[in-house]
Structure formats: structure tokens, C-alpha cells
Amino acid sequence: VQLVESGGGLVQPGGSLRLSCTGSESIFKLYAVKWYRQAPEQERELVASIAWNGAADYADSVKGRFTLSRDNNKNAAYLQMNNLKPEDTALYYCNLRAGTSDSWGQGTQVIVSS
């Protein structure tokens, strides 16, 4: 399945962004979707995941600030990011694993800076 992220950009500290991940196939609705991020010279970090039924988990660093949701009718998942901090600056990727298939989007850049 092909994944396309969108919604990144430049935002001031304390601001908000909403990232979207859209899948190309209907199997999107059957599997968990995960958001990762990678800052320069750092390892990729799991930010949040959402099961097919909407149950979501978050990294401690984003709990209370980020909310992950999905709309299976649109084959889409949304990462609402509030109260953004400079340390949230990274390239954000969505990921879906369906059996042996491991799909990644191209990433969307988030920059939090004043």
C-alpha cells in the first residue's frame, strides 16, 4: 500500500499542526498505522500508533499534546500536534505493516522555531 503524508510546515513554539497519512488501498483500514519521526543525526523515533479500531498509544514525549485518529472510510490517519516544541522538529513518517509488507510514506517536515 502506498502512503502519502501531508500537513507539515513551519510553526512557532506553542503552535499546532495536523499531519495526514493517506493510504492507497482499502486494506489500510485493517491494520495499525504508526507515526515516526527522525531529527537530523538522531535515530527514528516512534511517536504514536493507532490500531484498526482506533485505540491509540503515544510516546511519553508527546502524551497530552498529540492526538492520533483515523478515518477508515477515507483510508486516512491524522496526527494532531498541539503545543509544539522546538524538540518536535523532525521529518515525520507514517508506516503501515500488513503481513510481510512494510509501507512508508515519503515524510513531511515539521519545523518548530520562532
Cα separation of 50 and 64, whole Å? 15
Work out the average pLDDT over 5-30.
Answer: 94
Measured in whole angstroms, the distance separating CA 81 from the mean position of its chain's CA atoms is 9
Nearest to 35 by CA among 113, 112, 108, 99: 108
At 29 the three-state DSSP class reads: helix
Assess whether pLDDT exceeds 90 at residue 61. Answer: yes
pLDDT band for 14, please (50, 70, 90 cuts): very high
Cell of 27: 486494506
So what's the pLDDT on residue 68?
A: 98
Assess whether pLDDT exceeds 90 at residue 25. Answer: no
Cell of 64: 497530552
Work out the average pLDDT over 86-105.
Answer: 95
Assess whether pLDDT exceeds 90 at residue 27. Answer: no
Work out the average pLDDT over 55-80.
Answer: 97
pLDDT band for 1, please (50, 70, 90 cuts): confident
Assess whether pLDDT exceeds 90 at residue 26. Answer: no
At 91 the three-state DSSP class reads: strand
H and E: helices and strands count for the chain: 0, 11
Q: In the 8-state DSSP scheme, what is residue 85?
A: -
